[in-house]
């Protein structure tokens, strides 16, 4: 492990969690929220914790921030165990979902607040505040108070305030969930840009798999307090290590291996990998539902004596127009098959 004060470069291990678990409650009524969590976060990466509501994402983020302490295990930053480091002494900042801005202060004062607490000299402080306001494109609003800003602008103030002291780690808990779809897409690109331009390591929590795939350098998929898989978005999408991940990321079709003489196995087939075949295909079925998704169209097809509904997603222009009840053959390339243990 590294010694304190030694700054690792981009690509070096920044955070390590070793056998971390978290249990809430008393001995009589305890509730284990995180179990056997082991992973590392690399300096300079955009790391995303992805999982369904209640799986323990916020708890994991609060452990990193120092707002909670692990029941067992170690969390280290730059090789230094954080157990005895109070939240305000960690080089870690959090952007809260509620933004938590000071209503009576101007944008500039809000952003300067943390630096004042850290006793930055005035010249340096003023220059840094101007720099981060420029970074989040709020320079022209520096004299306003939070109530005079839109929700998106308030969020930028919260981001500027958290980025100002150049923390080693920035924690963001579902930062985009309160925004409408259009603003959310814009902010995804904006967060990517801020992360790239500052080089600060971001750890973002979301339950939205599309958001995670769009922004992350690496994703950790969490379910029931366990980290199931970690990897770059493309790997997690194309090579899921278990059926939960395959279904949660991109809603793959999960087909019982028994149908293909492979008991104990599950075949994952991506919606976009399936096609209708004019002649006999791998499976025969009946169209049971059709959903219009704008640029795409989604067919559901009952196959295997009606036990399984396959979802097929294709471009609207290039997918045959069929009606509910149509008898079809479904096909796929062998290369798009992905087998997993149950």
- Look-up of token digits 């796929």: 332
Stretch that binds ligand ADP, among 56-64, 100-108, 213-221, 264-272 (CB under 6 A): 56-64
- Return the number of the residue (23 or 106) whose C-beta is nearest ligand ADP: 23
79, with CB counted inside 10 A (0-12, 13-18, 19+), is middle
Q: Are 322 and 299 in contact (CB under 8 A)?
A: yes
Sheet of strand 338-341, all strands in order from the earlier edge strand to the far edge: 253-256, 265-269, 338-341
Among 35, 58, 155, 209, binds ligand ADP (CB under 6 A): 58
For residue 68, what are its two tokens?
Answer: 């909670």
Contact set with Mg ion (CB under 5 A): 58
Q: Are 93 and 67 in contact (CB under 8 A)?
A: no
Q: DSSP strand E in the chain: where?
A: 13-25, 30-42, 46-50, 72-77, 80-81, 92-95, 169-173, 201-206, 218-223, 226-231, 253-256, 265-269, 275-277, 283-293, 296-303, 308-315, 327-331, 338-341
Q: Are 223 and 57 in contact (CB under 8 A)?
A: no
Smallest distance, Å, CB 305 to ligand ADP?
38
- Binding partner of 198, given ligand ADP, Mg ion, none, CB within 5-8 angstroms per partner class: none
- Return the number of the residue (59 or 139) whose C-beta is nearest ligand ADP: 59
Rounded Cα–Cα distance for residues 71 and 152 (Å): 37
Smallest distance, Å, CB 329 to ligand ADP?
41
Stretch that binds ligand ADP, among 2-10, 48-56, 163-171, 314-322 (CB under 6 A): 48-56
Number of chain positions touching ligand ADP (CB under 6 A): 11
Contact between 31 and ligand ADP (CB under 6 A)? yes
- Binding partner of 26, given ligand ADP, Mg ion, none, CB within 5-8 angstroms per partner class: none
Among 14, 15, 17, 33, binds ligand ADP (CB under 6 A): 33
Stretch that binds ligand ADP, among 53-61, 71-79, 106-114, 333-341 (CB under 6 A): 53-61
Smallest distance, Å, CB 198 to ligand ADP?
25
Binding site for ligand ADP (CB under 6 A): 24, 31, 33, 51, 53-59
């Amino acid at each position: 492990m590294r010694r304190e004060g030694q700054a690792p470069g981009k690509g070096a291990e920044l955070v390590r969690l070793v056998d971390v678990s978290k249990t809430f409650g008393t001995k009589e009524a305890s509730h284990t929220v995180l179990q056997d969590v082991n992973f590392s976060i690399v300096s300079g990466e955009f790391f995303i914790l992805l999982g369904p509501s209640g799986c323990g994402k916020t708890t994991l983020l609060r452990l990193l921030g120092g707002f909670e302490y692990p029941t067992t295990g170690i969390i280290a930053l730059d090789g230094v165990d954080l157990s005895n480091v109070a939240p305000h002494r960690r080089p870690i900042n959090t952007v809260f979902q509620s933004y938590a801005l000071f209503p009576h202060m101007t944008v500039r004062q809000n952003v300067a607040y943390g630096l004042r607490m850290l006793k930055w000299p005035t010249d340096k402080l003023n220059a840094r505040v101007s720099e981060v306001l420029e970074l989040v494109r709020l320079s022209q609003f520096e004299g306003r108070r939070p109530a005079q800003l839109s929700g998106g602008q308030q969020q930028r103030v919260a981001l500027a305030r958290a980025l100002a002291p150049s923390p080693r780690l920035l924690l963001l808990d579902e930062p985009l969930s309160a925004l409408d779809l259009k603003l959310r897409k814009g902010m995804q690109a904006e967060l990517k840009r801020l992360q790239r331009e500052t080089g600060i390591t971001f750890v973002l929590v979301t339950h939205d798999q599309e958001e995670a795939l769009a922004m992350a350098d690496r994703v950790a998929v969490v379910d029931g307090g366990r980290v199931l898989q970690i990897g770059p978005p493309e790997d997690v999408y194309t090579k899921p290590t278990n059926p939960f991940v395959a279904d949660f990321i991109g809603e793959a079709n999960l087909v019982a291996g028994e149908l293909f003489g492979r008991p104990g196995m599950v075949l994952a087939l991506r919606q976009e990998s399936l096609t209708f075949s004019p002649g006999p295909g791998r499976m025969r079925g009946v169209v049971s539902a059709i959903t219009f998704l704008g640029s795409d169209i989604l067919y559901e097809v009952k196959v295997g004596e009606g036990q399984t509904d396959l979802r097929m997603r294709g471009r609207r222009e290039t997918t045959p127009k069929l009606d509910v009840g149509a008898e079809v053959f479904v096909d796929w390339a062998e290369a798009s098959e992905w087998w997993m243990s149950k």
